[in-house]
């Protein structure tokens, strides 16, 4: 171990090893472009939203690609988060594992290459019936409207991938698990298998509300997994929709966090932690019996380039501290740091090294 490595490891509580953090979700290639309100209106998009592509959006992808400044970035909510976590951790490489489904095509190759560059141990289920999934990121000012065409991502099969001995061994190696709510539309049985494993072994299972449509249209699979969720993430809009769907009868975010924390839970050895971000406003988190506010890092509005990936990177920063067994406030501080870095850049991209202490 070099002196530098010895110094960095002094501040760590837990020894990090490969495959300690496990993520599973929809690997997508982000196609990002700045658009105007007319473009949003033409396709019936809200400025700040996430939806699944329908037939009427096919043209949207074609039009977006024709625009003058298009950027391609590896995306997909969970994949973004585990990448950011790995970036925050730096060494060792491959602390983060990622499972998801891609196509045997050019976009799939890009995703493989990008995961490798990020030092994430990605194990994709590759099939040739559907092309690799894409996500149109339509940027207006500091808003982003995301339209996901899951394609291959929707083809993930538990018995064809997760259940294979070599892959399940990687699941067993982990001690922290993270799956975005988006994956509920693809393979709830895969999520449940991982969530139950975490609960049975007293490991930490984290999930994200991800988008309003998940609580609205995938409430049943979401609530099947909820008893196994140790840490739940979401933003203010998702929290409000979730509360409405569950009949909480309150729009007070702290109260929603408290009620969510108290939903039934399998592993009673761990009290559920609920963390709701609110853009530039304080994050709200349940700490034991109380709800606490955590202010974000101040940022000049003019420095915000693109909020795409802000929520994912908050989770990524949080997970990087969590896997090192840091206390909750440290996890949130790491989350805020990561989000602050990412919103100053296009897409969910990051500089070579973090400057977080």
Rg (CA), the chain: 19
**49 among known catalytic residues:** no
Query: In three state form, how does the secondary structure of 66-83 look?
Result: HCCCCEEEEECHHHHHHH
DSSP codes of every residue in 146-187: EEEE-GGGGG--IIIIITSHHHHHHHHH-SEEEEEGGGGGT-
Residue 349, CB half-sphere, CA atoms under 13 Å: how many? 15
Q: Which two tokens stand for residue 119?
A: 């030092």
DSSP codes of every residue in 114-152: HHHHTT-EEEEEEESSSPPEEEEEEEETTEEEEEEE-GG
For residue 63, the SS3 value is helix
For residue 96, the SS3 value is strand
Which residue is catalytic, options 30, 230, 306, 312?
312
Q: Could you identify the residue written with the tokens 């491959």?
A: 94
Asked if 183 contacts 222 with a C-beta cutoff of 8 angstroms, the reply is no
Asked if 57 contacts 43 with a C-beta cutoff of 8 angstroms, the reply is yes
Asked if 235 contacts 278 with a C-beta cutoff of 8 angstroms, the reply is yes
Q: Which one, of 144, 143, 142, 145, lies nearest residue 303 by Cα?
A: 142
Active site residue ranges: 312
């Amino acid at each position: 171990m070099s002196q530098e490595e010895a110094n960095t490891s002094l501040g760590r509580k837990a020894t990090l090893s490969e495959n300690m953090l496990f993520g599973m979700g929809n690997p997508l290639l982000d196609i990002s472009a700045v658009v105007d309100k007319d473009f949003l209106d033409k396709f019936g998009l809200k400025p700040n939203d996430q939806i699944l592509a329908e037939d009427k959006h096919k043209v949207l992808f074609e039009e977006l690609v024709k625009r003058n400044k298009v950027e391609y970035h590896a995306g997909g909510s969970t994949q973004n988060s585990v990448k950011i976590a790995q970036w925050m951790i730096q060494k060792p490489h491959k602390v983060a594992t990622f499972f998801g489904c891609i196509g045997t095509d050019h976009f799939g190759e890009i995703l493989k290459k990008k995961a490798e560059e990020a030092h994430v141990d990605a194990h994709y289920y590759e099939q040739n019936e559907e092309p690799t999934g894409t996500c149109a990121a339509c940027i207006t000012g500091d808003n982003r409207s995301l339209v996901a065409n899951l394609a291959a991502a929707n083809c993930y099969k538990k018995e064809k991938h997760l259940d294979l001995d070599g892959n399940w061994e990687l699941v067993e190696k982990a001690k922290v698990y993270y799956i975005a709510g988006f994956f509920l539309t693809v393979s709830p049985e895969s999520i449940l298998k991982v969530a139950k494993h975490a609960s049975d072994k007293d490991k930490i299972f984290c999930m994200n509300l991800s988008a309003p449509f998940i609580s609205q249209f995938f409430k049943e699979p979401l609530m099947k997994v909820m008893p196994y969720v140790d840490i739940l993430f979401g933003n203010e809009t998702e929290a409000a929709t979730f509360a409405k769907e569950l009949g909480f009868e309150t729009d007070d975010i702290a109260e929603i966090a408290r009620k969510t924390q108290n939903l039934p839970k399998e592993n009673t050895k761990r009290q559920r932690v609920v963390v709701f971000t609110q853009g530039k406003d304080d994050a709200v988190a349940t700490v034991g019996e109380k709800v606490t506010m955590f202010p974000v890092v101040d940022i000049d509005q003019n420095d915000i380039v693109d909020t795409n990936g802000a929520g994912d990177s908050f989770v990524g920063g949080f997970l990087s501290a969590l896997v090192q067994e840091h206390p909750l406030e440290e996890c949130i501080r790491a989350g805020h740091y990561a989000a602050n870095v990412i919103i100053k850049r296009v897409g969910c991209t990051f500089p070579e090294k973090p400057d977080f202490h």
